Structure 1
Amino acid sequence: MKSAAHLQNDNILSKYILNIKGLKLLDTKNTKFEWLIPNFISKQSLNMIYAGAGSGKTMFALHLCNYLIKNNAKIDEILYFDADNGVDMLQNRQADKIVDDSNSKLKYILSNSLSRFGLFKNINKKAKFGDLKNKLVIIDSVRNFIKGSLSKDENITKFMADLQSIRDKGATIIFLHHQPKQGMDKNDENYKGATAFMDSVDEAYYLQNETDNAIVADNTMILSLKPKKRRSHTKEAVVQIDTKNLSLEFIKDDFFGLNEKEKISLQLAKEIVDQKSEISQSDLANAIQKLANKNYLEIVGRNTLWKLFDKFDGKLFKIKRLKGYGNCNKKIFCNIENVEEK
């Protein structure tokens, strides 16, 4: 048990620490975790969404704002800072209509002056804790607000510290970012610049345009978003955007969001199972590897392959589990059409 002198010393230390500017005790009574969009964006979080040029990042961000307003999300105001797009591009994407239909909730701010480089530092200096509660901040794109190299951790850490502080004062932040140039047949799903981008965010999503992989109307976009940190139970998301009616819908489809290696691995698996009618998991894996080598294709490793098999059980093939020696389950892959006929 601590003596009165020890307790007094503890109080002196606490008072000293809390007198340091910028430090604040956690208010456990008024602090609670809350989703803005379940398993996707949490309130008062800092998020990065990145993709290659022309993938649909701005279109997604615009329609996400529209979605939140239409669905009465707990957001009082959305501040959209854009230093990446021209007025003609924004009109083409109907940003003006989305703003007009927002009941003044969406403030779209074109930020092309040199003052943009100190914008978030100034916001952080002026805002107090709680001032930014129920505010959503969109930054399009983050590279246009950073002065200096995107590759230097020291430079990015300072910028991200301001965003983290703005988050801690109540705001939810989503910033758009780019990928480095990718090869024709490969995409490493990495973002451009320093590791401090990923280290500083609560969640990072890799956005992929899946429209070419789907049969959809001309005015429809399909985008998949894959979480890279998977904190707080975030999950992969797929959205369908109707650019004519200005609507966004979260849809469920396991086929979107797969990388090239995963797609090739599943295509080979289905091809082999359809030919064999029935095949064990180990034989199937060996056959996939043999066929991939023959055709100079890259596929996923065994651990990822097992996860893909379980994910697509009942979609591309049917897995039967047979009791083997020592109560070990043996997996047999069957042609799904033959199983359905029986």
Structure 2
Amino acid sequence: MKMEYNSTQSVEQNIHDIISKFGLEATSEMINNTKDEWIIPNFLAPQTITMIYASAGAGKSLFTLYLAKFLLQENKFSQIHYLDADNSPRVLKDRNLNQILDSFKDSFHYYFIDKPKNGDILTHLSKSNDLDGALIIIDSIRNFINVDFTKDDKITSFLDKLQKLRNLGATIIFLHHQPKQSEEENNKAYKGSTAFMDSVDEGYYLSLIKEHSVLSASELFFTLEPQKFRFDMAVSNFIINTDNFKFKKDDSLLFANNDIARYTAEYVIKILQKHTDGLPKSKLIKELKDLAFRDDVEVYRKNSLWRFMDKFKNRLWTITRETKHNTIRYKLINS
């Protein structure tokens, strides 16, 4: 929905008249008629700004290319414009971009952008007359920014340009990088100012699994973790097949990050299915330890377990604090 402001008032008589020149006044009918639309449930909504970030080599561009193809296959967008200032034609040849372009000649437009910082392409895009319903992908945002990454006011001013495109009807995804991470642990931080996260509708940390016992040699598994959880956004798992271009969302957790996570998820679900009213923290961990000992498998323990449980809060189970007994209760959703 494009925002159309009332800018025709000739006399500024009161507060309402003045503010109405700069914004659209909310009405009960407007809010009631607002649809909870999804492009991909709990992952991508129309007319939003989404940041996807990860460390170098994590597969951000590959994932987003396959995502774009999937969205066109499913008729989610009539036009997708991919602005690439990060990758070379040689890299895209290896990813079979030519086959995707042949399949969607009239709807998928891929551009190798030269010197985007000097051209201020985003300002020019705001003058376009066909932004409504379009998807614009920017790879990566650092190549389009000519200001200090660490300055909130500079980044906010830059990202205002993306918000203007969104208000004119576009859906926007941009890719971003992380600072260098240690080998032991990724802190899931993104590079630069806090304004990056403040100015987007959702920011996803992307992680990649290249090898897993349940994946074929040509399959890659991506997990995208929301950092803001707006609009019921949730952790989303995707599998892509680099041989046949298949792209599917998989939330079964059979493809969790590793075997420890997979067993933990399967056992927790099994336990909570038996206890439809849920279980307090102490009883859940006892039953989980008993099952793991019986089957001689490793599962998450203590703090690792609670972090894992938090990761899928309101997606697979609810987590509530009972003040009466000062305990935390876990309950399977739809049980």
TM over 0.5: yes
Distance in 1 between residues matched to 2:167 and 2:229, nearest whole Å: 20
> Structure 2: which 5+ residue stretches go unaligned?
1-10, 269-281, 290-299, 317-324, 331-335
Instruction: Give the counterpart letter for 2:188 in structure 1.
Output: E
The answer to whether the 8 A contact 1:240-1:249 is kept is: yes
The structure that is helix-richer by fraction is 1
Deviations 1:166-220 (A, max 9, x none): 1011000000111111111111111111100000111111110022234422221
Instruction: Give the counterpart letter for 1:38 in structure 2.
Output: P
Which position in structure 2 is the counterpart of 1:222? Answer: 221
Distance in 2 between residues matched to 1:121 and 1:284, nearest whole Å: 58
Matched, 1:84 2:86: yes
Which position in structure 2 is the counterpart of 1:252? Answer: 251
Which position in structure 1 is the counterpart of 2:142? Answer: 143
* CA-CA distance at 1:144 after TM superposition: 0.6
Distance in 2 between residues matched to 1:300 and 1:266, nearest whole Å: 13
Instruction: Give the counterpart letter for 2:158 in structure 1.
Output: F
1:16 to 15, 18, 25: 18
1:100 to 96, 99, 102: 102
After superposition, the Cα gap between the structure-2 partners of 1:162 and 1:15, relative to the gap in structure 1 and judged at 3 Å, is same
* CA-CA distance at 1:308 after TM superposition: 7.7
SS of corresponding position for 1:76:
coil
Deviations 1:205-256 (A, max 9, x none): 1110022234422221111111111111111111111111112111123265
SS of corresponding position for 2:303:
coil
After superposition, the Cα gap between the structure-2 partners of 1:18 and 1:90, relative to the gap in structure 1 and judged at 3 Å, is same
Which position in structure 1 is the counterpart of 2:37? Answer: 34
After superposition, the Cα gap between the structure-2 partners of 1:134 and 1:307, relative to the gap in structure 1 and judged at 3 Å, is closer
After superposition, the Cα gap between the structure-2 partners of 1:329 and 1:200, relative to the gap in structure 1 and judged at 3 Å, is closer
Which sits farther off after the overlay, 45-54 or 93-102?
93-102
After superposition, the Cα gap between the structure-2 partners of 1:157 and 1:117, relative to the gap in structure 1 and judged at 3 Å, is farther
Which position in structure 1 is the counterpart of 2:160? Answer: 161
Which position in structure 1 is the counterpart of 2:274? Answer: none
Matched, 1:194 2:193: yes
SS of corresponding position for 1:143:
helix
Instruction: Give the counterpart letter for 2:132 in structure 1.
Output: K
* CA-CA distance at 1:96 after TM superposition: 1.9
> Structure 1: which 5+ residue stretches go unaligned?
1-8, 271-279, 288-296, 314-325, 332-342
Which sits farther off after the overlay, 142-151 or 247-256?
247-256
Q: Quick check: which has more Rg, 1 or 2? A: 1
* CA-CA distance at 1:113 after TM superposition: 2.3
Instruction: Give the counterpart letter for 1:160 in structure 2.
Output: L
SS of corresponding position for 1:225:
strand
Which position in structure 1 is the counterpart of 2:212? Answer: 213
After superposition, the Cα gap between the structure-2 partners of 1:26 and 1:127, relative to the gap in structure 1 and judged at 3 Å, is farther
* CA-CA distance at 1:307 after TM superposition: 5.1
Instruction: Give the counterpart letter for 1:107 in structure 2.
Output: H
After superposition, the Cα gap between the structure-2 partners of 1:177 and 1:221, relative to the gap in structure 1 and judged at 3 Å, is same
Which position in structure 2 is the counterpart of 1:62? Answer: 65
Distance in 1 between residues matched to 2:165 and 2:106, nearest whole Å: 22
SS of corresponding position for 1:91:
helix
After superposition, the Cα gap between the structure-2 partners of 1:265 and 1:253, relative to the gap in structure 1 and judged at 3 Å, is closer
Distance in 2 between residues matched to 1:19 and 1:66, nearest whole Å: 40
* CA-CA distance at 1:109 after TM superposition: 1.1
Q: Percent identity?
A: 34
Distance in 2 between residues matched to 1:31 and 1:283, nearest whole Å: 42
Instruction: Give the counterpart letter for 2:37 in structure 1.
Output: E
After superposition, the Cα gap between the structure-2 partners of 1:302 and 1:31, relative to the gap in structure 1 and judged at 3 Å, is closer
SS of corresponding position for 1:121:
helix
Instruction: Give the counterpart letter for 1:95 in structure 2.
Output: L
The answer to whether the 8 A contact 1:82-1:108 is kept is: yes
SS of corresponding position for 2:217:
coil
The answer to whether the 8 A contact 1:156-1:194 is kept is: yes
Distance in 2 between residues matched to 1:207 and 1:301, nearest whole Å: 20
Normalised TM-score (structure 1): 0.71
After superposition, the Cα gap between the structure-2 partners of 1:33 and 1:182, relative to the gap in structure 1 and judged at 3 Å, is same
* CA-CA distance at 1:300 after TM superposition: 2.4
